Amino acid sequence: MFVDEVTILVESGAGGDGCISFRREKYVPKGGPNGGDGGDGGSVIAVVDASLTTLLDYRYRPHIRAGRGEHGKGKNLTGARGEDAILKVPAGTVLRDESGRVLADLTRDGQQVVVLAGGRGGRGNARFATPQRQAPRYAEPGGPGARMRLTMELKLLADIGLVGCPNAGKSTLLAHLSAAHPKIADYPFTTLQPNLGIVRWAEGETFVMADLPGLIAGAHEGRGLGIRFLRHIERTRALLFVLDCTSQTLAADLATLRTELAAFNPSLAAKPHAIAFNKCDLLPGGRLAVDPFPQFSGRRFHISAVTGQGLDELRVALGQALRALRRDAAAVQWPEVDG
């Protein structure tokens, strides 16, 4: 089950109290204070685990609490520190507090951030001994822990995002370009969740492709599967519009896709993009006779995800374009490259 957004209650541990104690041994008069400090409370720490791809675990763990610190003891013994609560999350997770403020954007394996620090342990009475106050009879209480409603939102990390209408063949294309195994069927809305695939386009060179559920007109108003999955292409470097070339409304299909992208986030519509006309094996000559988008400046590909027509050219062209885009992170146009 793919879960890409959860809200949970997290709580850091309180610090342990300092101890009030005095050394009492035979033949040792006026042994003095020896109360130890309390241990610090455990913190709530989020850590990126590259093996994870979903936030499903937290759907069933709505409340996560770190351990509290132990109280100090006599003989200057410090209480044990409370156990930290470790939140393992997939790469691409954004953490927000109750007000919606971004606490962290975790994108690298092993990256971590302290979401809530534990309470500080209180000092024991041995800490307050002075020449003027040789037998202090007080110690500090431990500091309280903190609690917060934490929202975790997953945005998949991919280089190319596949965008298209339902049943345009995006899942079939991803399956043929990579080792991914998305669900494929001959009816709309087969894809119910994003899928990732690693595409090898040259010796030692790969890129990550994301396939999203299909968009229809009014998706930003909740029609179809809506636009909730579009967050997963906000990080992509480029978009590939996959269109069914047998459609009688190609121009309207592309306009719908671009409109829905802009309604969700205007920056998506400004990303470098190209078009793949899919199912060209059903056309005479294997390609469109007339260009339906004469004003569109992006690259066009005539492919068939079923027969493999044009897929080698597409794979290499995408890889070369991404190589150019990595050199120019500010580019908004599909780069002119060979192939």
What DSSP string describes 116-175?
Answer: EPPPPPPPPGGGG--SS-SS----PPPPP--EEEEEEEE----SEEEEE-TTSSHHHHHH
More reliable by pLDDT, 328 or 37: 37
Predicted confidence (pLDDT) at residue 191 exceeds the cutoff of 80: no
Identify the residue with better confidence: 87 or 186.
87
Which CATH architecture describes the domain 160-327?
Answer: 3-Layer(aba) Sandwich (3.40)
Residues ≥6 apart with Cβ < 8 Å to 130: none
Q: What integer pLDDT is reported at residue 25 of this predicted model?
A: 83
- The secondary element (H helix, E strand) that includes residue 113 is strand 112-116
Tokens of 116: 């809530």
- Residue with the bigger pLDDT between 230 and 19: it is 19
- Residue among 207, 108, 215 nearest 168 (CA): 215
pTM for this prediction:
0.74
Please give the distance of CA 256 from its chain centroid, rounded to a whole number.
27
First to last CA, the chain: 39
pLDDT tens digits along 104-156: 999 899 999 999 999 999 999 999 999 888 889 999 999 999 999 999 998 87
- The 8-class DSSP code of residue 294 comes to T
Helix, strand, or coil (residue 9) = strand
Under DSSP, is residue 89 helix (H, G, I), strand (E, B) or coil? Answer: strand
Listed by start position, the domains of the chain span: 1-154, 160-327
- pLDDT over 60 (residue 3): yes
11 in Cβ contact with 116 (< 8 Å): yes
Q: Burial level of 64, CB count in 10 A (0-12/13-18/19+)? A: middle
Q: Which of 145, 15, 143 lies closest to 69 in space, CA to CA?
A: 15
Model confidence at 337: pLDDT above 70: no
Number of H helices, E strands in the chain: 4, 14
| 112-116 vs 44-48, strand pairing mode | antiparallel
Sorting pLDDT into bands at 50, 70 and 90, what band is 293? Answer: confident
pLDDT at 221: 66
How many angstroms separate the CA atoms of 60 and 63, rounded?
Answer: 9
In terms of pLDDT, which residue wins out, 55 or 285?
55
Task: List the alpha helices (DSSP H) in 2-151.
Answer: none
| Residue at 260: amino acid letter | E
**1-154 has CATH 3.40.640.10 classification:** no
pLDDT at 187 over 50: no
* pLDDT surpasses 70 at 183: no
- What does the alpha-carbon distance between residue 271 and residue 322 come to, in Å, rounded to a whole number? 12
* 130 class by beta-carbon count within 10 Å (0-12 exposed, 13-18 middle, 19+ buried): exposed
pLDDT for 180: 67
Tell me whether residue 119 is exposed, middle or buried, using C-beta atoms within 10 angstroms of its C-beta: 0 to 12, 13 to 18, 19 or more: buried
Token pair listed for 331 = 């580019």
Same fold, 1-154 and 160-327: no
Average predicted confidence (pLDDT) for the chain? 86
Give the torsion through C-alpha atoms of 43, 49, 53, 54, to 10 deg.
-10
CA distance 160 to 236: 6
Least Cα distance to 323 among 182, 221, 211, 207 occurs for 207
Q: Which amino acid is at 104?
A: A
Chain centroid to CA 246: how far?
36
| % of the chain exceeding 70 in pLDDT | 90
Which among 317, 153, 157 is positioned nearest to 237, based on CA atoms? Answer: 157
Query: What is the pLDDT confidence band of residue 81, given thresholds at 50, 70 and 90?
Result: very high
Average pLDDT over residues 267-294: 85
Taking residues 243-264, report their average pLDDT.
87
